[in-house]
Structure 1
């Protein structure tokens, strides 16, 4: 088959004509037909005008559906030649949480991004006053502004890891930090060990380098020390990406004896440890005092990364890398392949916020506890069959469903005004369908509204048009 006519496609499409927005339902139906093999790959689709006439909808509706299919990789088009069905690159089939969601009208329960703290406005105003002093130079400092590097180094020292400013590279967020480290130190065919579940963009960075991914399963109970250390040895891992402090998404906290054992195993297997400390400052309850992974490092193989996004605000886009002074300079030189330097104004804002660290930590603990309590209360009332371990820090619940898959649940939830992050986003090769990540970084009122929608999606599936979210909740 080389071509499908408009009547042929119309007979196959199962989209509910009452669905709103219909273009999304139409795109979902065509995508499902391609994935099921009912519409073969590399088949020419009917012109938008012809399909619109057959379905008795506006041409704009079909054009929007085709645009969505093209964006997701299920259609390829060439001007003047039409559109053909396709399958996307497997590395891009997971939804990108930050693309195409701003105007979809859904409550955003898929990202663990807290709102700005009270101190941010004052820090921004102060940074604007500081900025003219930096206007004499060219504004490019690949290592980062000295004032910010000094404050990051001082914080590491206060946490028990003596650090000099020359060991710090300021980056444009923690994702940028991961890209720099993996881009410089990992080559095609190298083994990269990751936790499963894990932060998905770390896996993306390794795959782009042609690395061989070695997953090690963990749970809310923690890290299986023997499996983790054994996997490093057996795989000959060049790099291991770990998040020992309130792990995203499980919320687990690695105990000091395990940290020491992992550092020792990395030394014996000649594995570099890329340790993500993005959530490290956000203990919500009394927890055993743990030392940074770098405190157990005896031969400079622990590379630590941090970020302003969770403690302060994601819009600042400031992160950092702590490593040896020599590797810090190599990373700063390598970053010219990605960018030159991080924005000066944002660096000045974060430098000021470090002076308000304890104040903002206290505010975050207070607000995240309230939101965690609201989410847990809603789940106990509406979805008591789902199980999870209450995290003592961080910003997410890792929920085990009592049947069904989280991908189908996420699709159904969109029809009830809710956008979710299904388990496979955090796994490899379609694993973790029985799990769902639920962040509690939004205010309690938001979560109180979201959980009944989640139950409706679980109980009833994608029926009827999506409900319009409460404007008050949407603006929070």
Structure 2
């Protein structure tokens, strides 16, 4: 059978000037063609250049870099030989990943009741960036909900929009944060993931493009793929968002939606600047793109004041294009499946009608628990943030002691570090760590293009400091052990120890 080749779509083309601006560390390195190939490979693995993107013509890139065309030709040859590029007559050269290279999901290693730890020992789970419940407050909320439940027992109990008192409480929360909101602009959902999927199903259609950050929240990326939509990725690096690239992607790809996590982005922890938000809102108004803003981590502000809601910056002409989702999963507890959508009242009505065939309503008892927790949210959050700061400091100190060769930036908020291992071995480290009693997720799980970010691990600081110290010790043992080999093969002739 003839091999099926993937040819890039016309909206994924990288110009010579743009690529030359991204390739910044090759000057003076010899041989030049190998340095150029290594730089392009690094951009691809880091998600800064998407998969199946047309690379510039050899002559165009040579002119932009100020090198000979032979240098670019040799670099492209190296990329093709190692599986990082592909060519077909008449179709130019485009980025690719080596055959069989897929990110490893650590959940696949968790076989059996011991979470994949072969000897049944104590497993430290850092695969999920979510804190445990505040036990005392949760118990009090359950008791309060039990008192209020008889008032609802005579009713059928179906509330597709959510309990009126909870909608009012969420609306008041939005207003207090700087986004004036009425209860009829709130829909209560069964968690933020339900909210995301519901918005995607109503506003999008199979084949529509969705601008996404790269890396991004894996479950949101999965929901976009399952809906049959096409991701248009824009990179989020250690320096944050490239606003000009977001604007150009909005103009050129004309996506139906843009999924953004501007507040302590998952997994990088980056916080989008005020000026960037304004520019993106203006660009979305010009293209008519719906902005789906995920604020589930917005409360986890560790070193800066809590950010104002993204939608609060929207001018009148674009306010109706901003849809915000949130939940209590990160600020309180993921086991409490209560989330919400904040949008225009007309869209809220359409979402409520759309949910009924698959999810009649969020359970009343959980909504009553959430209502009580929201009323005392400031006290819970104050304690939670203090604990997270202590755990973050413990994780940073443990990494510095056990794995000083790894690199990371301490984020101003959020729940995890986005750690650079210096080599594309994240899946192998995660696989070996499971056998040593530590579960972590490799960076490939967060890539808009599967297989990228293989040099990264997401390490949450959502457990106690002592547990983090032990988890890092186990990671260090995994990194030093006999790994299954790097997920990405070296370029021909690369030095390998």
TM-score bracket, normalised by the shorter chain, equals 0.7 to 0.9
Aligned residue runs from structure 1 range 68-467, under 5 A:
94=105, 96=107, 103-104=114-115, 105=117, 106-117=123-134, 118-287=136-305, 290-297=307-314, 298=316, 299=318, 300-427=320-447, 428-461=449-482
Contact between 1:256 and 1:291, CA under 8 Å: does it hold in 2? Answer: no
Structure 2 CA distance for aligned equivalents of residues 243 and 377 of structure 1? 27
Structure 1 residues 97, 277: closer, same or farther in 2, change over 3 A? farther
Structure 1 unmatched runs, 5+: 1-89, 464-476
Deviation at 1:195, TM superposition (A): 0.2
Structure 1 CA distance for aligned equivalents of residues 323 and 109 of structure 2? 27
Aligned-residue Cα RMSD (Å) equals 2.0
Contact between 2:106 and 2:442, CA under 8 Å: does it hold in 1? Answer: no
Contact between 2:106 and 2:430, CA under 8 Å: does it hold in 1? Answer: no
SS at match of 2:237: coil
Contact between 1:256 and 1:290, CA under 8 Å: does it hold in 2? Answer: no
Structure 2 CA distance for aligned equivalents of residues 92 and 369 of structure 1? 30
> Which structure has more RCO (C-alpha within 8 Å, separation ≥ 6)?
2
SS at match of 1:273: strand
Q: Calculate the TM-score normalised by the size of structure 2.
A: 0.73
Deviation at 1:429, TM superposition (A): 2.3
SS at match of 1:305: strand
Deviation at 1:403, TM superposition (A): 2.3
Structure 1 residues 125, 102: closer, same or farther in 2, change over 3 A? farther
Structure 1 residues 97, 301: closer, same or farther in 2, change over 3 A? farther
The runs of at least 4 aligned residues of structure 1 exceeding 4 Å deviation read 90-102
Structure 1 residues 326, 101: closer, same or farther in 2, change over 3 A? farther
Structure 2 CA distance for aligned equivalents of residues 331 and 156 of structure 1? 19
Contact between 1:91 and 1:204, CA under 8 Å: does it hold in 2? Answer: no
Deviation at 1:415, TM superposition (A): 1.5
SS at match of 1:119: helix
Deviations 1:322-360 (Å, cap 9, x if unpaired)?
001010010011012321001111111111111111101
Deviation at 1:404, TM superposition (A): 4.0
Deviation at 1:461, TM superposition (A): 3.3
Structure 2 unmatched runs, 5+: 1-100, 118-122, 485-497
Give the paired residue count: 374
Q: Calculate the TM-score normalised by the size of structure 1.
A: 0.76
SS at match of 1:275: strand
SS at match of 1:315: coil
Deviation at 1:462, TM superposition (A): 5.7
Contact between 1:415 and 1:462, CA under 8 Å: does it hold in 2? Answer: no
Contact between 1:263 and 1:293, CA under 8 Å: does it hold in 2? Answer: no
